[in-house]
Structure 1
Amino acid sequence: MQISDSKIVSNLPLWLPAAVIVGVLVSYVRSWYRLREFKGPWLAGWTEAWLFRATTTGELHLRLHEVNKKYGDLVRIGPNWLMTSDPEIIRYMSAARHKHQKSSWYESLKVDPYVHSVFSETSVEKHDKLRVNMQSGYSLKENRDLGVKIDAEIASLVNLIDRKYISTPTEPRVIDLAQAAQYWSLDVITSIALGEPFGYLREDKDMYDFIKIIQGELPLATVCSSTPTLGNLVFGSGLVTLIGPSPKDETGRGKLMGIAKKVVEERFGPNKVVRDDMLGTFIRNGLDKRQAESEILTTILAGSDTTATAIRATMLYIMTNPRVYNTLVKEIQTAERDGSISSPITSAESRKMPYVQAVIKEGLRIHPPITGLLTKLVNPGGEVIKGRFVPGGTGIGHCGWGIQRHEIFGTDVDIFRPERWIEASDAQRHEMERTMELVFGTGRWGCLGKAIVMVELDKIFVELLRRFDFELVNPGSPWKTRNFTLFMQREMWVRVTKRGS
């Protein structure tokens, strides 16, 4: 019996949807099956919905840590993604000799959506070339006046506090320390990168709406980075080229791109401005105009936000722990009386102060400034990692919060206790330092600005606490904080008085 073509066409609506549904189910089952050996939230094995929901809470760092504690150091958080809090696995995935590639996680976090920076570049070869061109710009050898520039911005911060925010018994004044820390870190990084600060501290306001724009755009970018399907739709489908930001925009990310374009434009052409700063070093080492724009934007964002978070968090733990506060101030005052520190303090002098250094390390450990997944891909063909086979192409992300609560730090990892760094044996301290330093990444993907950040931290706490006393206004609710790869923190209200008054 023959069936007419019209009969087949009339039956299409009946079987075609069923075929599509079956195809989708088969795809889901195959995706689940390849990582079936790894435990994790049930929903995460089938769909990106679990990771999407965890990211939108603004507490992804805590949700990931909870999963690690429940299921182990290498757990499944998505159909094709694992996540770890094991320092050994992080070092393995970042080691230069293994050539693991960055995943699509980085694509959504490009500050300039049209041009990769050294942070977001997924090609190993292109990344390595960029890194070579840029690394001298971050070196302490090239930035010989780094300490002078940091000291100048510390003086600006001190001046701002003296001028507007000193409380007296009859006139209480409060400062949002979260905002002030970001103003300071932005002025420091723009001074280092561009030769002069943007003037956040001088004006005591968000210049160019930089903070407002970044905090407005970062949540969506982080959600897209954590859910590859959504990220590919928004950033990988060509949609950005049609409706994305432009340097001509008066608002949003386009406005920041326009600022970068204007700053970089001055360094090219027949009447170019030549400066001995970070941007000047980038250009001397071969970065073209467009790449320089992308790198400067990324440097200002990454170099300011992470430092600001380190300062806020460490100051919060200092202020809420009288033992730490008093011990730290005593060491600073003793050093002043002995004449063992200058005014302003040098980085070398700070590193001879055991408790200051212990506080800095403990602050970075207990509240790592960046907690994004930073996912890297297992090489094609798969690899055996810590005795378990992981299929090729699988993404392995970081649990930054969990890494800094590793057993190497002791049994009281959720307590801010700088003394752990002083009490430890040399061998244990070495391992603790190696693990703490993972907040800066490691290996091929290590942070270029690590040395600069550490000089900033060497100075800022000493210079503030030798002059002022700090007191939280609302200890029951010390700040408002949300995490979207970086921390967005505000309303950290503090009462400041002159030391000794």
Structure 2
Amino acid sequence: MHFLLQHYWAIPIAILASIVVYQRFFHPLASVPGPFLASLTNFWIVHISQRGDMIAVFRALHAKHGPVVRVAPNEVSVADLAAFRNIYSVSSKFRKSDWYSVWQGHRKFDIFAGRDIKVHAQQRRLTARAFSLESLKELEPYIDNMIETFCRKMKGMAGEKVDMAYWLQLFAFDTIGEITWSKSFGYMEDGSDHGTFNNIHNIVISGTWLGYVPWLYWTHDGLMPYTGNWLGINGRHSGLRDFALKETQLRKDKPVEKQDMIGRFFDTSAKNSDAFSYNDVVSMGTTLINAGADTTAISTRSVIYHVLRNPEIKRKLVAEIDEMRSKGELSNPVTWEEANKMKYLQACIEEGIRVHPAVGLSLPRVVPQGGIDIAGHYIPEGKVVGTNAWVIHQNTEVFGEDADKFNPDRWLDEEKVGDMHRYSFAFGGGSRSCLGKNISWLEMSKLIPTMFLNYDIELWEGQPWEEECLFFVYVHNFFCKLTPRKDPAEL
């Protein structure tokens, strides 16, 4: 005892050394390669997520270590194709990890962040019909209204430097408002989001890193009555939800004839009030704002930017548009039915979301009972595995030797397109794939050809495109110049 009292400083060193030895040599994931610090603490991945370059880091780690990389004491990043299909299959038993708990908060109904597989299946059944393509096509005229507003605003800025990244986000949010509550937010008319985008950006910044240390979020949650709120993620549970609550109440007080998303949710709630309450309707509205608009804006930016960077690809896309228009087969705005027949347009969209998926993190899942073998490594139950779309979309076995290039033609190869779709991960996979995919696809398929039909679009040179990798991969410095075109039908 006297020795310990004299050398008390050695106790924490011994404890730390024991932790290091265990994590590096005796932990169930000790054989999985990866960064030294990642094997010891979750704060390594917290640091990477806060730094905003997780895409580059994860790609480099997989290039160095192979298909399985340890990125936290109890988490591995997976790029193995067989394991990917197992983890994210429709019948997968890999539930979402506690990373999502900070996004769900105390809400019982959360189609995005809910972690119980059976509960999610029930919630998805209640809401899936509203997201079906057939249901969304009924809202196409209202999307057309938003496209016409967008094109009118672009005409007013013809020849000028246009912040295309910002304007595509304004469009996406106004469209979400229009199809959800039958009420555009008016952002395009005002040319401003009035601070909404910054609030959501702060939510995403906070939620991205807190998901890796959920105990910190829940500790803060318990102390909030005494300390107040210090975390941006709570904007999803307060400010953003309050916004959705207000709009939903206004929509309830003033019914409309068209069957918008909230109207469909009200119908579902009326038939299943115990399983789908009014609060759950509000939660769906909150999710649509927080996730639906950003996903669409990011994906649309990628398609347009990469088309503009490749003159031959731009020429082929415009030629397809002009040919259909000159034959009287293309409306203005372009309809979904017309866009779906445009093979090269659809290939450009597929390729745009492949080279720049909207989500920049792995989608973490918990290994179920029995564990899983991945590329020679046994991962026991309870550990976390996840795949990053930015990694698997670079797989040359699936996407070809030029997987690092923007090449829409790859999607025209009928022999290979099936495999590429199986490993396309831009909207997640399996039973937890993004419900809003059809919204994004519908908007992109209509807006992009309408833009190229009406305008000659060029990149505004001088400022390089920049990516900020949080949960979403945001884009900065995407500026364009637009020049009105003559209608090909009149030439």
Could you say which residue in structure 1 is the equivalent of 2:133?
140
Q: Could you tell me whether the CA contact under 8 Å between 1:107 and 1:235 is conserved in 2?
A: no
- CA gap of 1:54–1:17, structure 2 versus 1, over 3 A, is same
Which of 350, 358, 376 aligns to 1:369? It is: 358
The one-character-per-residue Cα deviations of 1:201-223 (angstroms, maximum 9, x if unpaired) are 1211104x210101123222211
1:71-470 to structure 2, matched below 5 A, reads: 71-110=65-104, 117-163=110-156, 165-167=157-159, 173-207=160-194, 209-225=195-211, 227-228=212-213, 231-235=214-218, 238-239=221-222, 241-242=224-225, 254-266=238-250, 273=255, 276-286=259-269, 287-407=276-396, 408-422=398-412, 424=413, 426-436=414-424, 438-470=425-457
Identity %: 27
SS in 1 for 2:136: coil
The one-letter code matched in structure 1 to 2:62 is N
Alignment partner of 1:497: what SS? strand
Distance 1:97 1:262 in 2: 37
Cα shift at 1:11: 8.2
Per the TM alignment, residue 466 of structure 1 is displaced from its structure 2 partner at its CA by 0.5
Counterparts of 2:239 and 2:80, CA distance in 1: 40
User: Is the Cα contact below 8 Å between 2:318 and 2:453 reproduced in 1?
Assistant: yes
TM-score, normalisation: structure 2: 0.89
Which amino acid in structure 2 is aligned with residue 223 of structure 1?
A: W
Q: Residues 17 and 50 from structure 1, CA distance in 2 versus in 1: closer, same or farther, beyond 3 angstroms?
A: same
Give the Å deviation of 1:116: 5.5
Q: For 1:411 and 1:119, how far apart are their aligned partners in 2?
A: 34
The amino acid that maps onto 2:134 is K
Aligned AA (1:433): H
Aligned length: 472
Could you list the runs of 5+ residues in structure 1 that have no partner in the other structure? 1-7, 168-172
The whole-number CA distance in structure 1 between the counterparts of 2:208 and 2:340 is 36
Residue 255 of structure 1 and its aligned partner are, at CA, apart by: 3.0
Cα deviation per residue 1:166-197 (whole Å; 9 max; x = unaligned)?
Answer: 11xxxxx2110000000111111111111221
Contact 2:148 2:333 in 1 (8 A): no
* 1:358-386 Cα deviation digits (max 9, x unpaired): 11111111111112221001013422345
Q: Is the 8 A contact 2:80 2:375 kept in 1?
A: no
Secondary structure (helix, strand or coil) at the match of 1:496 reads: strand
Q: CA deviation at 1:440?
A: 1.0
Cα distance in 2 for partners of 1:390, 1:95 equals 18
In 1, are the aligned partners of 2:92 and 2:431 still within 8 Å (CA)?
Answer: no
Mapped to 2, the partners of 1:375 and 1:443 lie a distance apart of: 14
Q: Which of 465, 470, 485 in structure 2 is aligned with 1:484?
A: 470
Number of the residue aligned with 1:3: none
Letter in 2 for 1:234: Y
- Give me the whole-angstrom Cα distance separating, in 2, the residues matched to 1:244 and 1:293: 24
For residues 346 and 172 of structure 2, the distance between their equivalents in structure 1, rounded to whole angstroms, comes to 20
Contact conserved, 2:91 with 2:430, CA < 8 A, in 1?
Answer: no
Distance 1:324 1:393, change over 3 A: same
Partner of 1:344: helix, strand, or coil?
coil
CA RMSD of aligned residues (A): 2.6
